[in-house]
Structure 1
């Protein structure tokens, strides 16, 4: 006996300068992920999440048993609810409220370029800039309030501050209004004591398309405004960066594993439905 997908699953299937002043030029660090070949998503199509959803939909259209309907609904629920963790977390980006820079920031009509009708390329750097400031402020307000003023000081030109030396932006598709963006930052390399510069990878997610609209690499310099030259990060800042790095690595393992498991489950559902040797499509009754 075959049954059609539950209404809830159908609904899911349908729905589916200082630091804050940028100097835009070619980044010296050209790779956004030093261990890119180790990522669970490295060999996948950029549209892999929507492809998974479509593959589950094909199984549903073919016809499933009651047990398979429940499995399909569970897969669609996971894709719909956890898509940011699956897409970004699997690469080491942290999506929690106390880590993300921008969350569902509205894309407004005026941010599009007039002749081409897609978001102006300059806007992506502004999204990254705003998100970077919030990313830094999370250390002051959440993760290390004991040194709150010193973390906040990184955003100004008085003591030890951060200057963006360069930014490189890769545009993945022409995002348009209406949409929303979620912007995430992560450390590109493991932090070390005495570091006087570091790189940040940026993912700018389209909420409508549920995939990256752009990626950036930011080269950040630690600068002492009092003496007018580069300076090392303070030890407590390096400690916080090291904790952040470990959290990034844990996220990569956790959500990368979930991506692999999702693909395994979808492939299993396909082999048990339309892709089995004796498969016959359920055309319903007249």
Structure 2
């Protein structure tokens, strides 16, 4: 399974909860966006993206997100979610996610999200701070 996530610098482990399943007895489609959010926040923690948000008033907002379902997931299971930045621009970056089911030993889901930097004080787009850009580059370079 490590081979399936070898290109992802951050791996987030998430247990599947019974309440996440729908009437068809597999994880409901909207839950995957919560899984992506959990992985995204762990990535943000690694690059210290949200550390100075109270002072700078600059942080990421989700501009676009997508998900491709490959295999249904059922309870019980534990998911490993790989996350990485695949595109870094002046005011945004795009992340990719890959979810691996430990029970199935396969990739169940892939996704993408574009995060746009936003100045909450001035209600406008902002640039990705240089320190954040460098943290992303350093983390991605490790892989």
Partner in structure 2 of residue 87 of structure 1: 4
How far apart in 2 are the matches of 1:113 and 1:151? 33
Q: Is the 2:84–2:95 contact (alpha carbons within 8 Å) kept by the matching residues of 1?
A: yes
The answer on 1:110 being equivalent to 2:9 is no
The structural deviation recorded for 1:213 is 1.1
Partner in structure 2 of residue 273 of structure 1: none
- Deviation track 1:186-244 (CA, whole Å, cap 9, x = no partner) reads 0112x35xx10110001111111122111111011000111111111111111111112
Q: Which has the larger radius of gyration?
A: 1
How far apart in 2 are the matches of 1:227 and 1:214? 37
| Larger proportion of helix | 1
Greater CA deviation, 166-175 or 238-247?
238-247
Query: TM-score, normalised to structure 2's length?
Result: 0.90
- How many residue pairs get aligned? The number is 143
Equivalent residues in 2 for 1:81-230 (5 A)?
A: 83-84=1-2, 86-89=3-6, 92-94=7-9, 99-100=10-11, 102-103=12-13, 105-114=14-23, 116-140=24-48, 151-154=50-53, 159-189=57-87, 191=88, 195-230=90-125
How far apart in 2 are the matches of 1:235 and 1:153? 13
- 5+ unaligned residues in a row in structure 1: which ranges? 1-82, 141-149, 249-286
How far apart in 1 are the matches of 2:124 and 2:77? 41
- Deviation track 1:99-123 (CA, whole Å, cap 9, x = no partner) reads 32x21x2112211101x11110011
Query: TM-score, normalised to structure 1's length?
Result: 0.47
- 5+ unaligned residues in a row in structure 2: which ranges? none
Match of 2:141 among 233, 246, 267: 246
How far apart in 2 are the matches of 1:236 and 1:106? 33
| Larger proportion of strand | 2
Q: Is the 2:47–2:136 contact (alpha carbons within 8 Å) kept by the matching residues of 1?
A: no
Equivalent residues in 2 for 1:50-89 (5 A)?
A: 83-84=1-2, 86-89=3-6
The structural deviation recorded for 1:246 is 1.8
How far apart in 2 are the matches of 1:152 and 1:203? 26
